[in-house]
Amino acid sequence: MLSVYFSAGHPNLKDTATIICSLAKAGADIVEIGMPFSDPVADGPVIQQSSLRALKNGMSVKVLFEQLEDIRQQTQIPIVLMGYLNPVLQYGIDKFCERCKHVGVDGLILPDLPPEIFNQQYRTTFDKYNLCNILLVPPQTSSERILQLDKWSSGFLYIVAASSTTGAKQSFQPYQVEYFKRLENLKLSNPKLIGFGISSRESFDDACNYANGAIIGSAFVKALEANGEITNIVENFIREIKG
């Protein structure tokens, strides 16, 4: 299973729907749309720059929802919004989730939303609008904590391959393989997708050996900056990853 991330409004403000539909047609399984934020502390330089460029282009939560208004008339690929909690709270959590349901968004990834706060304050709102909340599992997480995150999460678990910002890395290290095997032994109820550092067919295939699939972000964001038609860039990228 391949999930692909890009920043809404990058490289151009009105590319969002084209990229989503192109990814669906090319063979991606899930689309993660980054909501640009002015202080993307968990992101590496490639995604940081794409986020800042998107903001400069005029992207906002309001604009993104407008761009997604008719997306379900064009594709049924699962769509997840990923970003930071602050813009969601500014928009209004109930209003935000209602808009997600209206346009056909399937889930959210909010890395800076503490799982306990989600469970205590926002779970009922997510459930009301049938939204998955996808939680991140860092490599240093205890087995007991992982089981709790699995209970609170829905859709899939975002398995963080390394304790660092996002970006392309080399092949998995022994400690990462040990971590992936520990996850496998826990018999988790949610599918597992490995993210952070997946950038090629080799690393994608390697990740799929230890999980249900992988997430590619920085490598795809960088590819979108090449000259050429978006549809061709997307098709060529997915072909290189999935064959």
Q: Tell me which residues are annotated as active site.
A: 32, 43
Residues 199 and 78: their CA atoms lie apart, in Å, by 21
Copy the structure tokens of residue 61: 């939560």
Copy the structure tokens of residue 167: 């970006």
**Residue in the structure block whose two tokens are 């391949």:** 2
Sheet holding 79-82, edge to edge: 132-133, 107-109, 79-82, 30-34, 2-7, 213-216, 192-195, 157-160, 136-137
Residues 6+ apart with CB under 8 A from 126: 97, 108, 118, 132, 133
